[in-house]
Amino acid sequence: MNSPLTNYQIRDLQSLIHPYTNAMALKKTGAHFVEKGEGIYVYDNNNKKYLEGMSGLWCCGLGFSDPELIEAAKSQIEKLPYYHLFGGRSHEPAVELAEKIMELTPGKMGRVFYQSSGSEANESQIKLAWYYNNAKGLKNKKKIISRKKGYHGVSIVSASLTGLPYNHKHFDLPLNFVKHTETPHFWRERLGEETEEAFSIRMAQKLEELIIKEDPDTIAAFIAEPVMGAGGVIIPPKNYFHEIGKVLKRYDILQISDEVICGFGRTGEWFGSQTLGMQPDALSMAKQLTAGYAPLSAVAITEEMAEIIEAQTGEVGVFGHGFTYGGHPVGCSVGIKALQIYKERKIVDRVQKLAPIFKAKLDNYIDNPIVGESRALGLMGALELTPNKTPEPFKDVGKVGAKMASELLKSGVMVRAIGDTVAFCPPMIITEDQIDELFEPVAHALNSTLDWAFSEGFLN
CA distance 274 to 268: 9
Task: Collapse the DSSP code of 378 into the 3-class scheme (helix H, G, I; strand E, B; otherwise coil) and give the result.
Answer: coil
Nearest one of 431, 439, 435, 429 to 65, comparing CA atoms: 429
Are 281 and 254 spatial neighbours (Cβ–Cβ below 8 Å)? Answer: yes
Q: What is the pLDDT of residue 460?
A: 81
Q: What is the pLDDT of residue 441?
A: 98
User: Considering all CA atoms of the chain, what is the largest pairwise distance in Å, rounded to the nearest integer?
Assistant: 69
Query: What amino acid occupies position 307?
Result: E
Are 73 and 294 spatial neighbours (Cβ–Cβ below 8 Å)? Answer: yes
CA distance 90 to 4: 52
CA distance 313 to 234: 39
- Number of other residues whose CB lies within 10 A of the CB of residue 171: 12
Nearest one of 204, 284, 287 to 247, comparing CA atoms: 204
Burial class of residue 237 in the structure, from the number of CB atoms within 10 Å of its CB (0-12 exposed, 13-18 middle, 19+ buried):
buried
pLDDT tens-digit profile, the chain (460 residues) = 356 899 999 999 999 999 999 999 999 999 999 999 999 999 999 999 999 999 999 999 999 999 999 999 999 999 999 999 999 999 999 999 999 999 999 988 999 999 999 999 999 999 999 999 999 999 999 999 999 999 999 999 999 999 999 999 999 999 999 999 999 999 999 999 999 999 999 999 999 999 999 999 999 999 999 999 999 999 999 899 999 999 999 999 999 999 999 999 999 999 999 999 999 999 999 999 999 999 999 999 999 999 999 999 999 999 999 999 999 999 999 999 999 999 999 999 999 999 999 999 999 999 999 999 999 999 999 999 999 899 999 999 999 999 999 999 999 999 999 999 999 999 999 999 999 999 999 999 999 999 999 999 999 8
Q: What is the pLDDT of residue 365?
A: 98
Q: What is the pLDDT of residue 1?
A: 39
Q: Which helix (H) or strand (E) holds 443?
A: helix 442-455
- Give the number of C-alpha atoms closer than 13 A to the C-alpha of residue 276, restricted to the C-beta side: 30
Q: Give me the domains of the chain, ranges plus CATH numbers.
A: 32-65+346-455 (3.90.1150.10), 68-344 (3.40.640.10)
Are 231 and 215 spatial neighbours (Cβ–Cβ below 8 Å)? Answer: no
- Inter-axis angle of helices 329-344 and 67-79, to 10 degrees? 150
